[in-house]
Amino acid sequence: MRTIKPLAAALVACFCGMAANAETGRLAVELNKVEDTGEGGCRAFFLFRNETGNSFEGFEMSLAILDGQGVIDRLLSIDAAPLPVARTTLKLFEIPQIACTNISEVLLHEITSCKPQNAEETDCFPIIDLSSRAAAPLVK
């Protein structure tokens, strides 16, 4: 019985450590603001907060832009790389031929590339946290 208690304590410590690691290492993507371009389009300002412990040399997303009626207006591919480790990066993207006020939602349709520096492509969906300060929500 005495040997089981230390083993159980070691297992609990190990699992708690893994849970703590799972809670860190997030990549936050925030639609910070949008503004009309004056040419009938919309400029979107995104903040990427990379707390993953890895720099990304490749990071591309496919976004579905939904109009004021909730209908998909277009798919927009954006390349946000590079994303340095432990940094917040600002990226601007143009959404042509739609006014910002006519965007009801931005849907993360797909992550087409997620490549940590000096590593293979990986699935980033589990580490992505989305938020929006703009009128249109950014959702998965």
CA distances from 95 to 18, 38, 66, 113 (A): 40, 12, 12, 20
Would the pLDDT of 55 be above 80?
Answer: yes
Q: Which of 55, 45, 137, 28 is nearest to 90 (CA)?
A: 45
Per-residue pLDDT at 24: 52
pLDDT at residue 30 in the model = 98
Q: Is pLDDT at 35 greater than 60 in this prediction? A: yes
Q: For the whole prediction, is pTM greater than 0.85?
A: no
When pLDDT is averaged across residues 41-68 and rounded to a whole number, the result is 97
- In sequence order, which residues have a C-beta less than 8 Å from that of residue 63 and are 6 or more positions away? 75, 76, 77, 78, 106, 107, 108, 109
| Cα dihedral: 28, 127, 59, 33 (round 10) | -20
- Mean pLDDT throughout 71-92? 97
**Residue 116 clears pLDDT 90, i.e. is over it:** yes
Task: Note whether 26 and 129 are within 8 A (CB).
Answer: yes
Does the pLDDT value for residue 104 go beyond 60? yes
Quick check: 120 pLDDT over 90?
yes
pLDDT at residue 1 is higher than 70 = no
pLDDT in tens, 12-25: 444 343 333 334 59
Highest CATH level, class, for 25-139: mainly beta
pLDDT score of 103 more than 90: yes
